[in-house]
Amino acid sequence: MTDDRFTNQVAIITGAGQGIGFEIARQMAMSGAAVLLNDIDEQLANRAASVINMLGGKCHPLAGDAADINFIQQMVDEAVRKFGFLTIVIANAGITSYGEFLDYQPEDLQSVINLNLFGSFFLAQKAAIQMKKQTSGGSILLMSSVTGHQAHKNLAAYGMTKAGLEMLAKSLVLELSQLNISINTVAPGATLTERTLQDNNYEQIWSRITPMGRAATVEDIANSVLFFVLPQSRHITGQTLVVDGGWTATSPSPY
């Protein structure tokens, strides 16, 4: 299915080689956007972009580490070089880091902070600088998680970074609104992806404890992201949309 909701829009989407990021990129490209698709895995990035291009979309792969400040600038520069301007940025790249608090190691905390917080912060900054130059505004979307709202066992570090992203979006309203740039977050709940489905019990467990009776699909999350970054949605800013089938309303543990 194609439409023209994102015609004349240019987007950067990080961590989009598969899973939620890929579905966001696919839907956006099929709705008219030109997409710079990033993943740290070059093979995944190239394959994902190839699929989207074969479907009739416009997608350019760029492999690299979304936590590296020089590469973040390179993504913005490449999007502008390839497509002429930049209007949408989706900071989807992130890592999940499990570990008991009393045993958690400094290098593990540094790793999750570097990508989830540092990478998202500076991607938003570099994108906003470019959008300011263009004077036409834009939309920035940070990917949070229900773990930023409800405690999960062994996910203190990860949940802390996701809650931080939601506060970042609120804070940046003060500086970006005058530039006609919206910034929001989407907080997915349990979602069926290539990674989560490696756990054979994942879908069964989360279907049982989610009020809607199933875990989210990548389409569920992508649909919500696209709503936030539509040019027509730009008056919505500083908000978080939780997409979890009602799980945070009751929050039963999967353990």
In tens, the pLDDT along 29-69 reads 999 999 999 999 999 999 999 999 999 999 999 999 999 99
pLDDT, tens only, 168-195: 999 999 999 999 999 999 999 999 999 8
Please state the rounded mean pLDDT for residues 237-246: 97
Q: Which of 31, 97, 144, 224 is catalytic?
A: 144
Instruction: Tell me the Cα Rg of the chain.
Output: 17
Where does the pLDDT of residue 25 fall: very low under 50, low under 70, confident under 90, or very high at 90 and above? very high
Q: Is residue 202 annotated as a catalytic residue, yes or no?
A: no
Cα–Cα separations (whole angstroms), residue 208 to 73, 113, 150, 155, 219: 43, 32, 18, 21, 20
Q: Which of 120, 126, 162, 224 is catalytic?
A: 162
Report the pLDDT value the prediction gives residue 236, as an integer from 0 to 100: 98
CA 22, distance to chain mean position in Å, is 10
Q: In 168-177, which positions are buried (b, 16+ CB within 10 angstroms) versus exposed (e)? A: bbbebbeebb
Residue 63, H or E segment: strand 58-63
Report the pLDDT value the prediction gives residue 2, as an integer from 0 to 100: 65
Q: Is residue 97 annotated as a catalytic residue, yes or no?
A: no
Report the pLDDT value the prediction gives residue 251, as an integer from 0 to 100: 86
CA 254, distance to chain mean position in Å, is 24
Please state the rounded mean pLDDT for residues 7-17: 97
**What's the CATH code, domain 10-243?**
3.40.50.720
pLDDT, tens only, 136-161: 999 999 999 999 999 999 999 999 99
Would the pLDDT of 1 be above 60?
no
> What residue has token string 């190239």?
46
Q: Is residue 162 annotated as a catalytic residue, yes or no?
A: yes
Cα–Cα separations (whole angstroms), residue 10 to 6, 32, 111, 139: 8, 9, 29, 11
Q: Which of 158, 182, 202, 224 is catalytic?
A: 158
pLDDT, tens only, 68-84: 999 999 999 999 999 99
Cα dihedral across residues 67, 229, 9, 43: positive or negative: positive
Would the pLDDT of 105 be above 90?
yes
> What residue has token string 């990080």?
14
% of the chain at pLDDT higher than 90 = 93
Going from N- to C-terminal start, the domains of the chain cover 10-243
Across the chain, mean pLDDT equals 96
pTM of this structure: 0.95
